[in-house]
Amino acid sequence: MTEENHTALPEFLLLGFSDLRALQGPLFCVVLLVYLVTLLGNSLIILLTQVSPALHSPMYFFLCHLSTVEVLYTTNIVPRTLADLASPEPQAISFQACAAQMYVFIVLGISECCLLTAMAYDRYAAICRPLHYSTLMSPQACRAMVGTSWVMGIITATTHSSLIFTLPFPSHPTVPHFLCDILPVLRLASAGKHKSEISVMTATVVFIMVPFSLIVTSYVRILSAILAMTSPQSRHKVFSTCSSHLLVVSLFFGTASITYIQPQAGSSVTTDRVLSLFYTVITPMLNPIIYTLRNKEVTGALRHMVKRQAT
């Protein structure tokens, strides 16, 4: 009987927020509203970067792909979360659906890490290597960076999913989360857990810290170049071109680092869910708002499009 439980494909029970029944209704409304704003904001960014000639530059090419990732990222998670919030009882998810959700989740998460790194390199090339900018950030180079971002995401997701979903699970595993995230699912495995957790967490830390280290290196050099400028106006103008990206990087890597790099003993189910809700639902909504409100080129393109449609 035990062997049968381990070889059969189990259904995972996602607890979600079922322990907070009084908050499920308000949470449903908030998550739905945030999801709609996310879709609208990121779709608007994608549209603007396609139709506005002022935004046909490497930075906005990357921003377009970043917004595409955000739309796919939230769509992979939020509709299922809304369905669970609408139900008074925890809902089951099939083994295949759980594996698919985690796979897409990892692909898009790693792709976003790499795209943010490419955007930092773009700012470095524009500020520190202006004479070579057109060569360093040629259309071919930009497409190669985006392609590499997706390939890295696919490789990481394939490796992680293979390690996790080939482990034996109990017949009725219960996930104390609202999505099939790496750690909550991995901790349910009944054998080989320790070795796999070390392998998965090592890879996760590498794929978070390597892009983050490259971003920090780029901004150290950018800061040196800014400090070398004699005009305060020039310093302010150059720094303003980086502020939106810096804020997005801080939100993304800050929550990801707390979630995946903190010691297991220092985490709790509630803390993990709140952090996950922030970086899977809230952050994708904030990104287009940050780039729209803090970027004159984007706001200018938006005003121009609205005026053109009004006439």
Rg of the chain (C-alpha set): 21
Written out in words, the top-level CATH class of the domain with range 11-263+270-304 is mainly alpha
Per-residue pLDDT for the chain (311 aa), expressed as one digit of tens each? 444 444 567 889 998 888 777 888 899 999 999 999 999 999 999 999 998 888 899 999 999 999 999 999 999 999 999 999 998 888 899 999 999 999 999 999 999 999 999 999 999 999 999 999 999 999 999 999 999 999 999 999 998 888 888 888 888 888 888 999 888 888 887 655 566 666 667 776 777 888 889 999 999 999 999 888 888 888 888 888 788 889 899 988 888 777 776 655 455 677 778 888 888 899 999 988 888 776 778 888 888 888 777 77
Tokens of 231: 């005009």
Beta-sheet strand order (sheet of 12-14): 91-93, 12-14, 174-175
Contact 219, 121 (CB under 8 A): no
**Residue pointed to by tokens 């706001």:** 299
Contact 41, 288 (CB under 8 A): yes
CA angle in degrees (0–180, nearest 5) for 150-248-16:
75
- Residue 311 burial class via C-beta count within 10 angstroms: exposed 0-12, middle 13-18, buried 19 and up: exposed
pLDDT at position 1 is: 42
- Residue 42 burial class via C-beta count within 10 angstroms: exposed 0-12, middle 13-18, buried 19 and up: buried
Predicted TM-score (pTM) above 0.85: yes
pLDDT at position 267 is: 59
